[in-house]
C-alpha cells in the first residue's frame, strides 16, 4: 500500500486519512524529515507499505505528559527513537561540553530533545500508558542493547531495555524485524511472547525459557571485574553476524535476563530497491519548518545512499555493531531513478554531493562466501592486511558513477562519505583511482589514516602507515598525470587507546614533514559498544585480552591534541610540556626538524627555512593558513630581518 504525501504528523492529517486510532505512534527526537537517509522515515514507510498506519510525533515536550497523548493510545504499539544520532553525542562534545546547535532540529536549535532521549521518551509513555507495548529502535537503542560502558556517566550501565521500561529493542537497521513484530502484534500475540524475532532484544524472568543461547558473564560480575566485560564484548563481536551469530543472554538477577536474538538477515538488492522506491517526499514536514530549515537535511538532500554495512570494521566505529560487515547495495536503476528525480528539484544546481554509505567504494560483500557462511568471526577482511579471499573490485562502482555523470542536468558527482584507501590499493585494476581524480574530486580528497604510529593503528584496526604513504604516492602521481592540482586532507585522531605521548609526538613529526597542520583534530570519543570504547573502559584489547595504554587524563589528552596542531601559538605551552615529558627536547630549537623555537618564537617557526603551505611531497594540502596569509608572514619576516640588519649597521 503506497500513500501519497507525508506520513501523518498532526491530528488534522490523521483525520484527513480517516484514521481514528493509528496502529503505531512513532516518537522521534529529530524533526520529521521524510527522506530515506533518516531511519524513522524508512521504518514508517516500510510499515505503511505493509498496510499499517503510522502517526509521527516529532520532538514532543518531554516535560509535559500531555505532549505524548496527541494521538491517544495506538492500536498496536509506541515506537521510540532518539533519531538519526545518539542524543548524548548530539548534545555533548568529547570534552562533555554542551554543543550549541542540533543539526537535526529546525533552525539548528538546541534543547528540543532530552539527554538519553530513548529512556526519557519511553518512561514518559509508560507513565501515561501503563500497558501499551513500547518498542525502541535506532542507533541509540541499538548500541545500548546489552550492558555497556557509558562515557558521559563514566560508569557501567545495564541494558537500555531495563532502564527505559520498554518491552523490546529492534536493533540494527530494523526493516525486517519491525514488520515481523507488527504482524505478530496484529495477530494477537502478546508483546511478552515476542521472543523469536531476529534482530530484537527482549527481557524475561524465566531462564528455562531461554533456548540455544550463549550465556555471557552476568551484569554484577562484569561491573565488579572489567576483565569479564572485555571477554563478554569479544564474544558479542564474534556473534554480530546475521548468519553465524548466536543468541546471547545476560543475567541481572535471579529472575531477570536480557536476551539478544541473532541479527536480522541482510536485505537483498531487490528489497533495498523496494524500500528506496517508497513514496518518500524527500523534504522536511511543513509542521517542522516554523523555526527554519533542518541543517542535517540540507547536507544530504542531494546525496545518494548506495550501500549499507562496512567490512572495514574500524575499532572506533559503531557501524559494525549496528549495520554489520556484510555489504548491501542498491541497483544502478534504483539510484539512477532517484538521481533523475533529484535533477527536477528547483534547488538542484547540478551537483550530486555524495554516492556512498559507511564506505563509499564498498558495493559488494568482501568475498563470495559471506552471503552463505557469513563474515569470519576470527579474522577481518582488510586488517591487518587484506584477506586472500577479498574481492577488491571497483568496476561496478565505476560503472554507476559514469551513468550518474551522464544524466542531463548533472554537472559533477562528488564522493563525500569517504573511500577506503587500502581497498583502493588492493584492487589490481587501478582505473578507479584515475576516475576518482579525474571526475570526483574538487581540489581536496578527504581520507582517514587516523594516525601514523603502527602501534596505535593496530588498536584502531587500520592499515600500517606504509599503506597510507603508498596511497599518497599513487594519488600524487595520478594527479600529475592528469595535470590536476588536487590534495589529500587526512583525518587524524588523538588520544585513541594505545597512544602515549611518544606516539603523539610521532604524529606531530609526520605533520611537520608534510608541512601540514590540520584545522581540526578529533579526540577519541568513547561511544557505546565499540571495540575502542571497550579498550578505553577496561584497559584491555578484547580481541587478544592484552593490556592497552589508555590516555584518560584531560591534561594529557590536551597535550596529545596540541601536538598535532603544534604550529598554533595557543598550543605552545602544551607542546613544550609534552616534548619535555617524553624526553624530546631535541625538537625544541632552531633546526629544520624542530617543532618549537626555544623562546618567544611561534610554534613551528624554523630558522632559515621556507615552507610551501599549499602542497607537499605527498600531495597534502595544509589546513592551517591560506596562501595569502603565508605570503604576508614571509613579507613581514623579511621586513624584520632587514630592520635588524640596519640596526646592526648603525651600531
Q: Which residues are annotated as a binding site for [4Fe-4S] cluster?
A: 310, 314, 317
Count CA atoms closer than 13 A to 203's CA, side-chain side: 23
User: Which of 576, 578, 601 is closest to 590 using CA atoms?
Assistant: 601
Q: Are strands 148-150 and 24-28 parallel, antiparallel or unpaired?
A: unpaired
457 CB contacts (<8 Å, ≥6 apart)?
Answer: 450, 451, 463, 464, 465
State the Cα angle at 245 between 241 and 249, rounded to 5°: 125
Cβ count within 10 A of residue 314? 23
Instruction: Tell me the C-alpha to C-alpha distance, in Å, between residue 319 and each of 142, 240, 253, 363.
Output: 10, 11, 31, 16
- The answer for residues whose C-beta is within 8 angstroms of residue 73's C-beta and 6 or more apart is 21, 129, 132
Cα-atom radius of gyration of the chain, to the nearest Å?
Answer: 26
Say which residues have a Cβ less than 8 Å from residue 190's Cβ, sequence separation at least 6.
none
The cell for 449 is 589514516
Q: Is the dihedral of CA 362, 367, 370, 372 positive or negative?
A: positive
> Strand 256-260 and strand 247-253: pairing?
antiparallel
Secondary structure class of 4 (helix, strand, coil):
coil
Q: Where are the alpha helices (DSSP H) in 76-225?
A: 87-91, 117-128, 139-142, 160-164, 175-186, 219-224
Backbone angles phi, psi at 490, to 5 degrees: -85, 135
Task: Give the residue among 138, 124, 196, 214 at the shortest CA–CA distance from 170.
Answer: 138
Q: How many CA atoms lie within 13 A of 438 on its CB side?
A: 13
Give the cell for residue 603: 610554534
Binding-site residues sit at: 310, 314, 317
Largest separation between any pair of C-alpha atoms in the chain:
100
* DSSP of 375-406: S-SS--SSSSS--TT-----HHHHHHHHHHHT
**DSSP three-state, residue 65:** helix
Amino acid at each position: 500500500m503506497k500513500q501519497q504525501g507525508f506520513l501523518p504528523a498532526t491530528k488534522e492529517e490523521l483525520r484527513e486519512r480517516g484514521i481514528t486510532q493509528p496502529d503505531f505512534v512513532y516518537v522521534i527526537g529529530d524533526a520529521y524529515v521524510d527522506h530515506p537517509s533518516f531511519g524513522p522515515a524508512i521504518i514508517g514507510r516500510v510499515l505503511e507499505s505493509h498496510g499499517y498506519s503510522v502517526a509521527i510525533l516529532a520532538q514532543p515536550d518531554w516535560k509535559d505528559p500531555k505532549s505524548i497523548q496527541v494521538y491517544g493510545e495506538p492500536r498496536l504499539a509506541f515506537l521510540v527513537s532518539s533519531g538519526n544520532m545518539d542524543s548524548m553525542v548530539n548534545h555533548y562534545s568529547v570534552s562533555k561540553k554542551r554543543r550549541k546547535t542540533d543539526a537535526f532540529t529546525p533552525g539548528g536549535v538546541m534543547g528540543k530533545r532530552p539527554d538519553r532521549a530513548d529512556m526519557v521518551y519511553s518512561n514518559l509513555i509508560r507513565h501515561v500508558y501503563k500497558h501499551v507495548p513500547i518498542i525502541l529502535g535506532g542507533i541509540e537503542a541499538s548500541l545500548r542493547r546489552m550492558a555497556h560502558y557509558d562515557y558521559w556517566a563514566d560508569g557501567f550501565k545495564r541494558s537500555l531495555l531495563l532502564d527505559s521500561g520498554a518491552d523490546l529493542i529492534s536493533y540494527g537497521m530494523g526493516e525486517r524485524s519491525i514488520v515481523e513484530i507488527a504482524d505478530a502484534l496484529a495477530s494477537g500475540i502478546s508483546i511478552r511472547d515476542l521472543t523469536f524475532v531476529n534482530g530484537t532484544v527482549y527481557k524475561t524472568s524465566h531462564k528455562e525459557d531461554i533456548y540455544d543461547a550463549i550465556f555471557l558473564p552476568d551484569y554484577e560480575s562484569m561491573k565488579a571485574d572489567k576483565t569479564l566485560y572485555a571477554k563478554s564484548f569479544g564474544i558479542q563481536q564474534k556473534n554480530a553476524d546475521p548468519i553465524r551469530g548466536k543468541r546471547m543472554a545476560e543475567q541481572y538477577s535471579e529472575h531477570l535476563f536480557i536476551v539478544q536474538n541473532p541479527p536480522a538477515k541482510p536485505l537483498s538488492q531487490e528489497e533495498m530497491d523496494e524500500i528506496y522506491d517508497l513514496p518518500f517526499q524527500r523534504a522536511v514536514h511543513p509542521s517542522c519548518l516554523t523555526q527554519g530549515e533542518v541543517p542535517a537535511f540540507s547536507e544530504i538532500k542531494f546525496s545518494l545512499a548506495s550501500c549499507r554495512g562496512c567490512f572495514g570494521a574500524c575499532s572506533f566505529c559503531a557501524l559494525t555493531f549496528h549495520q554489520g560487515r556484510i555489504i548491501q547495495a542498491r541497483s544502478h536503476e534504483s539510484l539512477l531513478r532517484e538521481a533523475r528525480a533529484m535533477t527536477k528539484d528547483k534547488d538542484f544546481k547540478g551537483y550530486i554531493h555524495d554516492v556512498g554509505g559507511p564506505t563509499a567504494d564498498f558495493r559488494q560483500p568482501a568475498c563470495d562466501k559471506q552471503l552463505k557462511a557469513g563474515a569470519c568471526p576470527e579474522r577481518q577482511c582488510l586488517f591487518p592486511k587484506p584477506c586472500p579471499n577479498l574481492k577488491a573490485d571497483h568496476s561496478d562502482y565505476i560503472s554507476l558513477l559514469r551513468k550518474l555523470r551522464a544524466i542531463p542536468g548533472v554537472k559533477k558527482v562528488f564522493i563525500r562519505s569517504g573511500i577506503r584507501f587500502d581497498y583502493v590499493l588492493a584492487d589490481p585494476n587501478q582505473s578507479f583511482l584515475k576516475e576518482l581524480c579525474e571526475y570526483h574530486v574538487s581540489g581536496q580528497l578527504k581520507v582517514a589514516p587516523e594516525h601514523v604510529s603502527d602501534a596505535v593503528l593496530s588498536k584502531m584496526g587500520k592499515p600500517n602507515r606504509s599503506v597510507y604513504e603508498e596511497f599518497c604516492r599513487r594519488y600524487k602521481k595520478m594527479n600529475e598525470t592528469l595535470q590536476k592540482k588536487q590534495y589529500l586532507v587526512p583525518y587524524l585522531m588523538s588520544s585513541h587507546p594505545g597512544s602515549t605521548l611518544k606516539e603523539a609526538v610521532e604524529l606531530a613529526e609526520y605533520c611537520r614533514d608534510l608541512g601540514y597542520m590540520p584545522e581540526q583534530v578529533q579526540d577519541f570519543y568513547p561511544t557505546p559498544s565499540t571495540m575502542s570504547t571497550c579498550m578505553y573502559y577496561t584497559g584491555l584489547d578484547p580481541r587478544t585480552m592484552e593490556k592497552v595504554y589508555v590516555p584518560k587524563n584531560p591534561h594529557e589528552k590536551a597535550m596529545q591534541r596540541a601536538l598535532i596542531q603544534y604550529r598554533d601559538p595557543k598550543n605552545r605551552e602544551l607542546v613544550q610540556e609534552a616534548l619535555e615529558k617524553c624526553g624530546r627536547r631535541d625538537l625544541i630549537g632552531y633546526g629544520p626538524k624542530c617543532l618549537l623555537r626555544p623562546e618567544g618564537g611561534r610554534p613551528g617557526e624554523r630558522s632559515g627555512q621556507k615552507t610551501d603551505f599549499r602542497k607537499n611531497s605527498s600531495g597534502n594540502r595544509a589546513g592551517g593558513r591560506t596562501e595569502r596569509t603565508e605570503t604576508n608572514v614571509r613579507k613581514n619576516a623579511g621586513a624584520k630581518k632587514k630592520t635588524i640588519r640596519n640596526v646592526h649597521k648603525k651600531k
